[in-house]
Each structure stands twice: as C-alpha cells, then as structure tokens.
Amino acid sequence: MKMAVIGGTGVYDPSWLSHSVEQEVETPFGVTRVTHGRLDGVDDDVFFMNRHGAGHTVPPHLVNYRANIWALHQLGVKRVVATAAVGSLNVAMAPGTFVLCDQFLDFTKSRAATFHNGGDFGVVHTDMTVPYCPDMRSAIARAGRHAGISTVDGGCYVTTEGPRFETPAEIKAYRLLGGDVVGMTGVPEVVLARELGLCYSTIALVTNYAAGIAADVLTHQEVLDVMAQNVAGLRGVIAGALPRLQHDRLCGCGPDAQQ
Ligand code: HPA
C-alpha cells in the first residue's frame, strides 16, 4: 500500500525517510515535487510532499492543491496523512494538542477546489459525509497512545482563505457554527482527496488559541515555535501509524464508494 505524508507548516524535513529520492511530477494541473523513501515497518515506498513548497514559499491561498493531490494519485498513493498547524476555538484543545479532524467547515473563497469541472472529468457531486478516513484516524490515535502523545479523536476544522489571521468576530462566529480548530489549508485538500477516492486524514496540531480567545495578538513566529516544539512527536505518531495502515482498505473511502 503506497502512502503519503503532506507536511504543512513546520513539517518540512523528509529525513525521517531513509533512501529518500526527490522527484518532479507533472500533472494536468501543473508540476509539483514529491520525495519518496523507506520507513521502518512499511513494505512499500512512503511519499512526502511539502504543502508550502521548498522553504515555505507558497502561501495557503496559492498552494496548487490539485497538482499535489493528483500527483499522489498518479504515483499510486492510496492513503494520505496531512499535518496542519491550527488555532483553537475550543478551550478543551489547548496549544500542543493533536486533533484528528472528522469534519470541516469551508470559508475559502478563491481556490480551484474540484477536479470535476464538467468536460472530461464529468459532472460529479462527491459525497462528503465522512470526509476524513475513520480507519486512519483510529490508527493514528492508537499510534499516539503508544507514543505517549494524547490525541483528540474528532474535531471540526474551519478553513479560512487567509493569508491573514481571523478577526475575533469571525472566530466567535465559527465557534457558534461548531468549529473546533481553524487553519488555512484543510480545504480543498481533503475535498480533492475524496474526489479521487484517497483515504485522507489530518493531524491538526494546535499552535495557539485563535484571535480573541488568546490574550495577545497572534504571530506566525508563535505558530512556528509551537510547531518546532512538537514536530518530533508528530513524526513519531505518523511513523507509528503508517505500519498499521498497510492492510486493504475496508473504510469506504475508495473510488467505488464515491459514485
Ligand atoms: N488561524 C488560522 N490559521 C492558523 C492559526 C490561526 O489561529 N494558527 C495556525 N494556523
């Protein structure tokens, strides 16, 4: 089973894979870069992709999500674990908490958010009842327990357009709507993965309380600092989860379940 990790903010280094090789992948949506290598306990290659490009040069609203997800699909990847730095709207999810998202709210505005634009790709309305793979979530939660890192299994990820942070009024509204964490990249990544029948899961690492909940104003440096403190734990959880996910998919995320 080919699996991939999409590294978000603060997760850039593929050195946890051995014998790693970087390649350029051409897709109908543009060119992207993917590293593949070996991970202990996983029989097949594991792929790694930097969501924000080399040196974190691509902001959330300009990430080529379609090229990234298409490239993984083209390489034969079936399961994707994404990492994301997020702010928390939920006082039960303090900075440092790992949240395994199970729902999302979409407040993005200007992104290419589907493969289905008619023509060759057809008119398709993909079911989004279970956007995040439940089997991946439970494997990640088990790997977290094994590593002594507590994860919260379930949480609603609010995706904003960015690149600015939110106003306190927006955060208050998102909280009323049922959001738990807020970030800028969850959508359309999860949607595109579902459209192609990939199993997809997000480990959202809370780096801060969101605007208006935090006592101070928010800075990107604060996000990077908290990510840096937790990145080893995050890698440990992923390295523990992937060997538990090599079995055939029984979760219903596959393409047959999409029609
Ligand atoms: N808002 C949006 N994106 C984020 C935040 C936040 O508070 N923290 C980390 N990424």
184 CA: nearest ligand 1 atom: 3
The residue extents of the domains of the chain are 2-250
pLDDT for the residue numbered 255 = 82
Which CATH superfamily is 2-250 part of?
Nucleoside phosphorylase domain (3.40.50.1580)
Which H/E stretch holds residue 193?
A: helix 186-195
- Gap between the Cα atoms of 70 and 56, Å rounded: 20
pLDDT for the residue numbered 13 = 85
* Neighbour tally for 35: CB within 10 Å: 20
**188 upstream amide cis, omega within 30 of 0:** yes
The amino acid occupying position 49 is: M
Residue 51 phi/psi, 5° resolution? -60, -40
- Gap between the Cα atoms of 54 and 27, Å rounded: 18
Q: 234 near 98, Cβ under 8 Å?
A: yes
pLDDT for the residue numbered 53 = 86
Determine if ligand 1 sits within 6 Å of the CB of residue 133. no
Residue 98 Cα to ligand 1 middle (Å): 14
Q: 89 near 165, Cβ under 8 Å?
A: no
Residue 182 Cα to ligand 1 middle (Å): 6
pLDDT for the residue numbered 122 = 72
Nearest to 166 by CA among 190, 178, 182, 151: 182
Per-residue pLDDT of the chain (259 residues; tens, 9 = 90+): 999 999 998 888 888 899 999 999 999 999 999 999 999 999 999 999 999 988 889 999 999 999 999 999 999 999 999 999 999 999 999 999 999 999 999 999 999 999 999 887 678 999 999 999 999 999 999 999 999 998 999 999 999 999 999 999 999 999 999 999 999 999 999 999 999 999 999 999 999 999 999 888 888 898 999 999 999 999 999 999 999 999 889 899 998 655 4
Q: 122 near 66, Cβ under 8 Å?
A: no
pLDDT for the residue numbered 225 = 92
pLDDT for the residue numbered 45 = 94
Determine if ligand 1 sits within 6 Å of the CB of residue 60. no
3-state secondary structure 77-88: CCEEEEEEEEEE
pLDDT for the residue numbered 257 = 55
- Gap between the Cα atoms of 17 and 1, Å rounded: 16
Mutate to test the pocket of ligand 1, among 165, 170, 171, 205 (most ligand atoms within 8 A of CB): 165
Determine if ligand 1 sits within 6 Å of the CB of residue 85. yes
- Gap between the Cα atoms of 219 and 222, Å rounded: 5
pLDDT for the residue numbered 73 = 97
